[in-house]
Amino acid sequence: MAEAPAKTGATPVLSVQNLEAWYGESHILHGINFNVNAGEVVTLLGRNGAGKTTTLKSVVGIIGKRTGSIRFDNVDITRASSDKIARMGVAFCPEERGIFASLDVRENLLLPPIVRPGGLSLDQIFELFPNLKERLNSQGTKLSGGEQQMLAIARILRTGARFLMLDEPTEGLAPVIIQQIGHTIARLKSEGFTILLVEQNFRFASTVADRYYIVEHGKVIDGFANSELQANMDKLHTYLGV
């Protein structure tokens, strides 16, 4: 497998080695290996069912059975509880978004606890997502799909987490909203956040990612830097079926 080259002098903040994971008796991950360096946007690409989401859930500790090694900030978190991992500054934004129907936008925003200092204030969040300020008293599930995605991302930015895992943030969204999500990711990167992104839309990923790993059948089978994207387009078409 071609390893995606890291930045010169980069500091690995997440190191995943030989990760295996199961849902009940179903063996989903078969030895995942990858690293994420501080300040990077790294994207996991692959078809549906390849194991990308399971990888994120394993890192954040919500997959019951997992083996191998997951190290965050050089601390082994392979068997750590999800609340401990969250308090280390790791945040997960799931594909299904998890907006609470009975709460308005403000209540959804304020629900997650602050786990570390340095989280974004509501004013900073509204600067990133002005739509949310306009809909502050609206019921969470009355928002459009794009607004719900903004709310899901905004909610974790309050917590103080600096390592963000975003699962399919552009799924089903209009192009103008996808563009706004891209601008947001670029802005967060510029402010020192590290982001692990799961995407099928490599055209969107190419606007924000530093590096890519290709996941297939529960393994990382290839990796390359964004600067090598054009040279790998034929392989991407084969891997992703696009």
What digits encode the pLDDT tens for the residues 85-125? 999 999 999 988 889 988 999 999 999 989 988 899 999 99
Q: Is 121 helix (H, G, I), strand (E, B) or coil?
A: coil
Q: Which residues of the chain have pLDDT under 50?
A: 1-3, 8
> Has residue 46 been placed in a domain?
yes
What is the C-alpha separation between 207 and 184, in angstroms, rounded?
12
Cβ neighbourhood burial of 220 (10 Å; 0-12, 13-18, 19+): buried
Q: Token match 């709310």: residue?
A: 151
Convert the pLDDT of each residue in 119-148 to its tens digit: 999 999 999 999 999 999 999 888 999 999
Q: Residue 116 and residue 85: Cα distance in Å, rounded?
A: 12
Do the domain assignments include residue 136?
A: no
Residue 71 lies in a domain: yes
- Residue 133 maps to a domain: no
Q: How many domains does the chain have?
A: 1
pTM confidence score:
0.92
Q: What does the alpha-carbon distance between residue 201 and residue 213 come to, in Å, rounded to a whole number?
A: 13
The pLDDT of residue 236:
87
Please report, for the domain that includes residue 48, its CATH number: 3.40.50.300
List Cα–Cα distances, 242 to 95, 237, 238, in angstroms.
Answer: 21, 5, 7
Domain of 233 in residue numbering reads as 12-97+162-240
Domain membership of residue 131 (yes or no) is: no
**196 domain residue, yes or no:** yes
Residue 121 lies in a domain: no
